[in-house]
Amino acid sequence: MRISILLKVVVLMVVLVSGVESRAQQSDPDFKYWTWMHYGHDKKDKEYLKLFKKLKDSGIDAVLINTDGNTKDLQHVTDLARKEKLEVHAWIMAMNRPGDKVAQQHPDWYTVSRDGKSCFDTRPYVDYYQWLCPTREASRNHVLSLVEGLATVEGLSSVHLDYIRFCDIFLPIGLLPKYNLEQNTELPEFDFCYCDVCIATFEKMHHKNPLEMEHPELDIEWRQFRLNQIKAVVDDAYEIVHKHNKDLTAAVFPYPEMAGRMVRQRWDKWNIDEVLPMIYHNFYNEELDWVGWATQQGVNDLENTGTKLNTGVYVPSIEPAKIAEAIQLAKENGAKGIAFFDVNALTDEHLKVIKSSKTDR
């Protein structure tokens, strides 16, 4: 009898301790709140200071700021944000460089589709899609030089790579009606890159030419070659920013297998400190609980890599009352933080819920 009672007590204690540990895990004080934003000269310094104070007071820890690669502007806005104790990360469009004044002087730097069209002048989907080739030494070095320039900014926490991939082979299913498209296979006009350098480099390695294949989209080595070209740019960027004592972060597609298929972006294989997968559930006609599921997929694939994952959510698709649920889904599934796209979509009601969720933790 006494042994039976003792066993029950022990089991009850184990359950209670387990529950405390579970709640403690969900209430991780290091769970970080991020938001993306653009910097422009349309606001005065005092307006930015007011914004940064509001964000900090509402629980935001880090801002990812796009200054279009302008290091002088980045240094200025970094100093402003740090006055409010915010982390600052330099957000840059990496391989997609629309209007890049340097790249525009070199049409050969741009990726070429399977049907032979350069996105320098024939742009897939939207006018701002002008993708640089990651295989060409000159174009990739141009991107890396921009990364290094940003990495020299004092007080910066990381350089944050966006569009670090090829053009979308497949659009998120929720966006297809907008472009009146059906994508049941890899269509030639969205399949990149078939420029002379990519073809020659691949042919030297594998002794076959993708342009001579009946179905190059099915060739595993050709697919892996392009995954590796993006990885090489990321890995070089990692070395560069670490030389300047900064971290490397990136905005990526929801989870590695999906990212690899949709945009040649297998981010679980990269040398990178943190990733912010854009788990925009409405883009994929999914419900909010998909945020947790996709987060878990990425966390599982990053196991033993040392790379942290922060769940990115699309604020316009989440009413303020549901923001707390999105935060909890990210926490419960192993994310180290949550990132909100973007600052302009965060209403006072959203910020109130964010502040409350942070206070409750």
User: What are the sequence ranges of the domains in the chain?
Assistant: 32-105+125-175+227-360
Q: DSSP string of 29-69?
A: TT-EEEEEEE--TTS-HHHHHHHHHHHHHTT--EEEEE-TT
Q: Which of 39, 123, 131 is nearest to 94 (CA)?
A: 131
Rounded CA separation 227/266 (Å): 6
What end-to-end distance do the CA atoms of the chain give, in Å? 41
Q: 253 φ, ψ to 5°?
A: -75, 165
Q: What is the mean pLDDT of residues 56-83?
A: 97
Q: Which residue matches tokens 């940064």?
A: 52
Q: What is the mean pLDDT of residues 320-331?
A: 97
Rounded CA separation 111/275 (Å): 25
Amino acid at 44: K
Task: State the pLDDT at residue 25.
Answer: 39
Domain 32-105+125-175+227-360 falls under CATH 1.10.10.60: no
Residue 191 has pLDDT above 60, yes or no: yes
Task: State the pLDDT at residue 358.
Answer: 85
Task: State the pLDDT at residue 29.
Answer: 75
CA atoms within 13 A on the CB side of 147: 32
Q: Could you give the angle at which helices 196-206 and 220-243 cross, rounded to 10 degrees?
A: 110
Task: State the pLDDT at residue 361.
Answer: 53
Helix (H, G, I), strand (E, B) or coil at 361: coil
Task: State the pLDDT at residue 78.
Answer: 98
pTM higher than 0.85 for the full model? yes
Residue 223 has pLDDT above 90, yes or no: yes
Residue 163 has pLDDT above 70, yes or no: yes
Task: State the pLDDT at residue 56.
Answer: 98
Task: State the pLDDT at residue 12.
Answer: 41
Task: State the pLDDT at residue 172.
Answer: 97
Q: Could you tell me if 165 and 171 are in contact, meaning their C-beta atoms sit under 8 angstroms apart?
A: no
Q: What is the mean pLDDT of residues 82-86?
A: 98
Q: What is the mean pLDDT of residues 281-294?
A: 98
Q: What is the mean pLDDT of residues 282-298?
A: 98
Rounded CA separation 115/189 (Å): 6
Q: Indicate the pLDDT class of residue 359, thresholds 50, 70 and 90.
A: confident
Task: State the pLDDT at residue 19.
Answer: 43
Q: What is the mean pLDDT of residues 301-311?
A: 97
Residue 18 has pLDDT above 50, yes or no: no
Structure confidence by residue, pLDDT tens digits, 95-138: 999 999 999 999 999 999 999 999 999 999 999 999 999 999 99
Q: What secondary structure letter does DSSP report for 289?
A: T
For the chain, give the mean pLDDT. 93
Q: What is the mean pLDDT of residues 3-28?
A: 42
Task: State the pLDDT at residue 360.
Answer: 67
Beta bridge partners of 116: none
For residue 106, what are the CA distances in angstroms to 94, 132, 142?
A: 16, 10, 11
